[in-house]
Structure 1
């Protein structure tokens, strides 16, 4: 049984929802007889979509909507994320069940969807105070992260509705060219490493030989665990999920997976490092080896994918910083994201130089 601890914050200023409009919507669609007061809190983590906890009496659910202001083309597509969850939940129940999608912007100011509320432990930069850490726990969590990724990649998407969203041919070529264009559209500062990095990425695109379901934002703080860390009770943020190269998914996971002996550029590039730096957690190499062993996949080209993953992470930061610099959001957390972008571009280039 998971001990109850606070995983939400008061709704940030400027990101409030109308209780009256939302309660009316809920009574019309999901909770016809609900007479309790609607309570709204916000999940404070994350820099992309806005995520809220809704409570009416004993009923709880989670609402997802895009960030305020103009957003990058094809980003923050609520209908697509809802649809992906609808199909993936039926074959991978670690994904939360989506309840309803709405494109009625009069309710919360944008399209949105509501999904079930999952409960458990989410790990980020530290363990909850009521838990004591031991190295065996780090190994156990690492193994579980590998196994749940392998399980996801084993799903036969062709037997699900996900086949409607699949365009597996030429996946990496589209990804590399697409993310380069995203960077160019959101560019603000001159970063000298970028030109050389882009040249490397375009020149060495691997031929994807397999397509699977990929989460594409698979990281520790998107996962939820039982208190004894024997099970993953939830996996969230399916915004980028698609059908594509499984090694691209592994690489994205590794771009977030920091280890104790990393250089400061990588270790503190996203702020305080995650708990994966603690004794007992897998190194990236150990994670990749375990994935290869459990999945039977050839990971000999993983280095390119990791370089691209760092670049992709930098571009995501750049898109958010572009919105901040252009006054489309005033969230103070975004004020120094340009430093993150430079750090991740340098890390990507270091990765490319290391293996080139």
Structure 2
């Protein structure tokens, strides 16, 4: 969710405004259509719109257009998590409404509180860098705050906020490994890259012997899912909860680090373009992991396995996005480069498995 919004006619693609207005009216929400909903521009997944209502702005969130991978873009799950977590973790926005009637806008959707702020994706805005007056480099501060938010999330009592039955925490890592291995085979079909086979064989041979106590995990935790105060860069909101569940907290950390590019990484990691961590004084992946271990009290046992699994996940996701481009589900030109990117990530995962990178 970004301060940068699209205001063209594209901003209402994915919404049937007349049906939406009627449906919301039945639930006591008056939709103001004097100004068209604005589509937030960031991200490859769910679609987010700023809508105007009689009581103020809200965010409408729905899955992307086209086929949805099993278990992804789950608006019902996200609504449940927001409803339970809002009081326990103030960074989580308040849920307002959930609709599972696909006849309204063509997909399930939810409404939630709107919290404006700064979202940092591939680059830190130049005015943010120029205005930074902290004693430490801006990247060092941001990196430490990211880990602090993740540690805080993993300390939440899921039972106390009504989320103790979320997901299936028993066997989470084994099931996650099988799931991404299956998706990889389905995505690449009869011509899988050699590096994919190497990664899958390594994962099968190095699976952890025992798990650890489950916690609430975000399952796609990264910098652009944290909305920041534009002036202080303090975290203001933690968003994108459609894959949240109870699971192994080290997997959440590994997913974060799968996006965490370093200056000396291979080309694929440089082309990932997800977080600006290769510059600006950000901690290294190893330093970030050490901060998490110290703050959470969790040992990083078998962490290479988690790193490789999270890198496999990322490679499969980008290959799935590329397949959407190839079959015409999207015409976004950015997706054309994701075939090379996904295969480069597979090669990087092999290097991580062999200990060449953290």
> What is the TM-score with the length of structure 1 in the denominator?
0.91
In the alignment, structure 1 residue 90 sits paired with structure 2 residue 92: no
Structure 2 counterparts to residues 268-287 of structure 1, below 5 A: 268=271, 270-271=272-273, 274-287=275-288
Change in CA separation of 1:322 and 1:118 when aligned onto 2, cut-off 3 Å: same
| Counterpart contact for 2:75–2:108, Cα < 8 Å | yes
> Partner of 1:145 in structure 2?
146
2: distance between equivalents of 1:286 and 1:330? 39
| Counterpart contact for 1:37–1:56, Cα < 8 Å | no
| Counterpart contact for 2:3–2:118, Cα < 8 Å | no
> Partner of 2:23 in structure 1?
25
> Partner of 1:125 in structure 2?
122
> Partner of 2:75 in structure 1?
78
Runs (4+) of structure 1 moved beyond 4 Å?
none
Indicate the SS of the match to 2:199: helix
> Partner of 2:197 in structure 1?
195
**CA-to-partner distance for each residue in 1:119-139, whole Å, 9 max, x for gaps?**
111112222343214753222
Change in CA separation of 1:31 and 1:38 when aligned onto 2, cut-off 3 Å: farther
In the alignment, structure 1 residue 160 sits paired with structure 2 residue 161: yes
Structure 2 counterparts to residues 293-312 of structure 1, below 5 A: 293-312=294-313
Indicate the SS of the match to 1:12: helix
Change in CA separation of 1:230 and 1:221 when aligned onto 2, cut-off 3 Å: closer
Structure 2, unmatched stretches of 5+, are none
Structure 2 counterparts to residues 103-114 of structure 1, below 5 A: 103-114=100-111
Indicate the SS of the match to 1:334: helix
| Counterpart contact for 1:37–1:57, Cα < 8 Å | no
1: distance between equivalents of 2:119 and 2:15? 25
2: distance between equivalents of 1:226 and 1:338? 35
Number of residue equivalences = 349
Change in CA separation of 1:328 and 1:126 when aligned onto 2, cut-off 3 Å: closer
Q: Give the CA deviation at 1:62.
A: 1.0
Structure 1, unmatched stretches of 5+, are none
1: distance between equivalents of 2:56 and 2:240? 22
> What is the TM-score with the length of structure 2 in the denominator?
0.90
> Partner of 1:250 in structure 2?
253
1: distance between equivalents of 2:336 and 2:356? 33
Change in CA separation of 1:38 and 1:103 when aligned onto 2, cut-off 3 Å: farther
Q: Give the CA deviation at 1:53.
A: 1.4
* Higher mean C-alpha deviation, range 50-59 or range 198-207: 50-59
Q: Give the CA deviation at 1:310.
A: 0.5
Match of 2:57 among 36, 53, 60: 60
Change in CA separation of 1:21 and 1:147 when aligned onto 2, cut-off 3 Å: same
* Higher mean C-alpha deviation, range 11-20 or range 173-182: 11-20
2: distance between equivalents of 1:58 and 1:39? 16
Indicate the SS of the match to 1:161: coil
* Higher mean C-alpha deviation, range 325-334 or range 278-287: 325-334
| Counterpart contact for 1:19–1:38, Cα < 8 Å | no
Q: Give the CA deviation at 1:242.
A: 0.8
> Partner of 1:174 in structure 2?
175
Indicate the SS of the match to 2:256: helix
In the alignment, structure 1 residue 204 sits paired with structure 2 residue 209: no
